[in-house]
């Protein structure tokens, strides 16, 4: 039976376009395929820490983990977003014929600002920022993050003169405005405009199939560019541009390294005969290094005395590894928990319906009672991880929701009986008991644990704060200002944050890892 190739992709418009392009090419050759939009990192599980496998790329990490878990056969990426060193067990299986390599300026009204002293240009790329400031040193460059659609929307909303995009990205999803033109003078990111397919190293069949659509000329050129990047970068995000192309059986290469402010620039150009090019990238990188590139890279690697993001929950080392290199993160528990002592009378008579909305409540129950005591008829809970802990230690969960309000709405509609016991904290900010009481369901609240606020006054350099419950929001505002971005784990937390913060972002799924992805999306 012919193999059906599962094509992993992120769910953005551009990522889906790229995945469908690969799908069409494979199916044109007679192979069966299916698209698999991959969930957020928090929903994926590995039996080894990701740092042991070398998984580092912000845009590629989710698909890497899905592949190693056996959920997909191949992953489709923009090659410029792929780390130069792939995770252990994953290899490049093919590169499609390259699209437009250029950067593109989208402007608001007219192009007159190019000849003026003052102008505002938006980009989230260090490379674009540095090259623009090198050419227009009196202009101001502001940060711009998000997918293509989001960045175009932000450009229309702000008083900026223009913003810089990859021409290939705009063209592929049909969003290149008439008020735009390619920046022929700007050296693109290594492998810009190329679509790459990765597969498991041990999967010979899939790799052979992908090889059928590999474009050799693009593979040669992008490999040289990425080798140049790898030789210079040394694990540091830097303003590096590289472009290789083949003409008349010769490989022509341009490379550049700049300081962050664009005031320093070191360039290299070189041409080699096709077939005599294996050392081209190394030669050009060494040329840059010998002319001051090593000093520039050392300056870029110096630690910055700023904290971009603060987490109101202490993060594990594995979680810290998930952040993009540009993000500096610190963390501390803004909430301290103490488990209450509960007497046997709490479970007499044993309730039929029980609500548990946090892992803290689970631990409090386990700390006071035996598993036999906790064999409830119906258990309802909030959160995937709370459910997992309950089913490991107590029993089967009848129903779970992502937040307390949704659970309350479900219970009003479907719960057996009119009484429920709710194990909660002394600080309870959710609407669940109110909704149930308003619908004639008697709620017996048992204070299973105490929640104490433990805020830390943050430095002014913090740009965003990660919140995991309404209580963490309440704790934060007792010592800090709210002129920051609030990255929230779910709708209930976001609702509380919206009372104080203007800019509130909500994770796709209620996990710490998903909040981290939300942070990365903003800073990349």
For residue 111, report the phi and psi dihedrals to the nearest 5 degrees: -100, 10
DSSP state at residue 347: G
Four-way CATH pick for 336-453: 3.40.50.10090, 2.60.40.180, 3.40.50.9100, 3.40.50.2300: 3.40.50.10090
The C-alpha atoms of residue 427 and residue 450 are separated, in whole angstroms, by 7
Residue 349, exposed/middle/buried by CB under 10 A (0-12, 13-18, 19+)? exposed
Whether residue 427 has pLDDT greater than 90 = no
> What single string gives the DSSP state of each residue in 77-132?
EEGGGS-SSPPTTEEEEEEPPP----EEEEESS-SGGGGSS--EEE-S-HHHHHHH
Which residue shows structure tokens 């309404």?
470
Return the number of other C-beta atoms located less than 10 Å from residue 200's C-beta.
Answer: 18
Say yes or no: domain 1-96+192-214 is CATH 1.20.1250.20: no
Catalytic residue status for 431: no
Q: Are 133 and 261 in contact (CB under 8 A)?
A: yes
Mean pLDDT computed over 55-66 = 74
Label residue 439 by pLDDT band (50, 70, 90).
Answer: very high
Higher pLDDT, 427 or 458: 458
Label residue 51 by pLDDT band (50, 70, 90).
Answer: very low
pLDDT digits 0-9 by tens, 67-114: 998 999 999 999 998 988 899 999 999 999 999 999 999 999 888 999
Contacts 24+ apart (CB under 8 A), 50-56: 50/318, 50/321, 50/322, 51/317, 51/318, 51/321, 52/88, 53/87, 53/88, 53/89, 54/85, 54/86, 54/87, 54/88, 55/87, 56/83, 56/85, 56/87
pLDDT digits 0-9 by tens, 235-262: 557 899 999 999 999 999 999 999 989 9
The C-alpha atoms of residue 79 and residue 297 are separated, in whole angstroms, by 23
pLDDT at position 43: 46
Q: Are 262 and 137 in contact (CB under 8 A)?
A: yes
> What mean pLDDT is reported for the chain?
90
- Could you please state the CATH topology (level 3) that the domain comprising 309-334+454-523 is classified under: Rossmann fold (3.40.50)
Greatest Cα-to-Cα distance within the chain, rounded to the nearest angstrom? 88
Tokens of 351: 């309730």
Domain boundaries, the chain: 1-96+192-214, 103-183, 215-302, 309-334+454-523, 336-453
pLDDT at position 327: 86
pLDDT digits 0-9 by tens, 284-300: 999 999 999 988 888 87
Q: Are 302 and 236 in contact (CB under 8 A)?
A: no
pLDDT at position 273: 95
pLDDT at position 304: 62
Q: Do domains 1-96+192-214 and 103-183 have the same CATH topology?
A: yes
Whether residue 45 has pLDDT greater than 60 = no
Between the alpha carbon of residue 68 and those of residues 56, 248, 334, the distances in Å are 14, 41, 35
pLDDT at position 50: 44
Q: Which CATH superfamily, name and number, covers 215-302?
A: Porphobilinogen deaminase, C-terminal domain (3.30.160.40)
Mean pLDDT computed over 194-218 = 97
pLDDT digits 0-9 by tens, 119-174: 999 998 899 999 999 999 999 998 887 788 888 998 998 889 999 999 999 999 99
Whether omega for the bond prior to residue 349 falls within 30 degrees of 0, making it cis, is yes
Tokens of 469: 């419950």
pLDDT digits 0-9 by tens, 339-397: 999 999 999 899 999 999 989 999 999 999 998 899 999 999 998 889 999 999 999 99
> What single string gives the DSSP state of each residue in 293-308?
IHHHHHHHHSPPS---
The C-alpha atoms of residue 84 and residue 223 are separated, in whole angstroms, by 9
Q: Are 71 and 65 in contact (CB under 8 A)?
A: no
- Could you please state the CATH topology (level 3) that the domain comprising 103-183 is classified under: D-Maltodextrin-Binding Protein; domain 2 (3.40.190)
For residue 138, report the phi and psi dihedrals to the nearest 5 degrees: -90, -5
pLDDT at position 369: 95
pLDDT at position 459: 78
Return the number of other C-beta atoms located less than 10 Å from residue 376's C-beta.
Answer: 21
Q: Which of 43, 81, 326, 352 is catalytic?
A: 81
The C-alpha atoms of residue 311 and residue 327 are separated, in whole angstroms, by 12
The C-alpha atoms of residue 240 and residue 227 are separated, in whole angstroms, by 12
Q: H or E element: which one contains 182?
A: strand 180-183
The C-alpha atoms of residue 223 and residue 251 are separated, in whole angstroms, by 12
């Amino acid at each position: 039976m012919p193999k059906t190739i599962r094509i992993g992709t992120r769910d953005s418009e551009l990522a889906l376009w790229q995945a469908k392009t690969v799908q069409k090419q494979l199916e044109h050759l007679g192979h069966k395929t299916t698209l698999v939009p991959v969930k957020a990192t928090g929903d994926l599980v590995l039996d080894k820490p990701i740092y042991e496998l070398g998984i580092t790329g912000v845009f590629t990490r989710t698909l890497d983990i899905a592949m190693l878990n056996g959920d997909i056969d191949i992953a489709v990426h923009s090659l410029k977003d792929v780390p130069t060193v792939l995770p252990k067990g994953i290899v490049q299986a093919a590169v499609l014929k390259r699209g437009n390599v250029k950067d593109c300026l989208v402007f608001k009204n007219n192009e007159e600002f190019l000849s003026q002293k003052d102008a505002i240009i938006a980009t989230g790329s260090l490379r674009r920022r540095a090259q623009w400031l090198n050419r227009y040193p009196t202009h101001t460059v502001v940060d711009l993050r998000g997918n293509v659609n989001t960045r175009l929307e932000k450009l229309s909303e702000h008083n900026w003169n223009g913003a810089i995009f990859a021409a290939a990205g705009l063209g592929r999803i049909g969003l290149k405005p008439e008020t735009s033109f390619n920046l022929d003078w700007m050296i693109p990111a290594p492998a810009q405009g190329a679509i790459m397919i990765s597969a498991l190293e041990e999967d010979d069949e899939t790799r052979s199939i992908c090889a059928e659509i590999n474009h050799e000329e693009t593979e040669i050129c992008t490999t040289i560019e990425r080798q140049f990047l790898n030789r210079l970068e040394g694990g540091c995000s830097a303003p590096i541009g590289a472009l290789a192309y083949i003409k008349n059986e010769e490989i022509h290469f341009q490379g550049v390294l700049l300081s962050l402010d664009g005031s320093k620039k070191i360039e290299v150009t070189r041409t080699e005969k096709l077939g005599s090019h294996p050392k081209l990238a190394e030669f050009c990188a060494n040329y840059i290094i010998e002319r001051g590139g090593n000093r520039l890279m050392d300056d870029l690697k110096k630690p910055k005395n700023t904290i971009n993001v603060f987490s109101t929950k202490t993060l594990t080392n594995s979680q810290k590894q998930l952040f993009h290199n540009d993000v500096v993160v610190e963390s501390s528990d803004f909430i301290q928990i103490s488990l209450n002592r509960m007497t046997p009378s709490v479970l007499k008579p044993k309730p039929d319906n029980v609500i548990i909305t946090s892992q803290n409540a689970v631990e409090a129950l386990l700390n006071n009672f035996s598993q036999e005591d906790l064999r409830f008829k119906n258990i309802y809970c909030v959160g995937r991880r709370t459910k997992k802990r309950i089913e490991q230690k107590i029993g089967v969960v009848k129903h779970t929701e992502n937040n307390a309000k949704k659970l309350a709405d479900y219970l009003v509609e479907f719960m057996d009986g009119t009484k429920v016991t709710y194990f909660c904290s002394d600080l309870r900010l959710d609407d669940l008991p109110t909704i149930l009481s308003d619908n004639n369901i008697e709620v017996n609240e048992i204070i299973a644990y105490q929640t104490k606020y433990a805020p830390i006054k943050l430095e002014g350099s913090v740009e965003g704060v990660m919140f995991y419950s309404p209580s963490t929001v309440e704790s934060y505002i007792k010592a800090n200002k709210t002129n920051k971005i609030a990255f929230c784990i779910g709708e209930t937390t976001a609702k509380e944050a919206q009372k104080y913060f203007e800019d509130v972002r909500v994770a796709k799924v209620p996990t710490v890892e998903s909040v981290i992805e939300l942070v990365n999306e903003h800073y990349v």
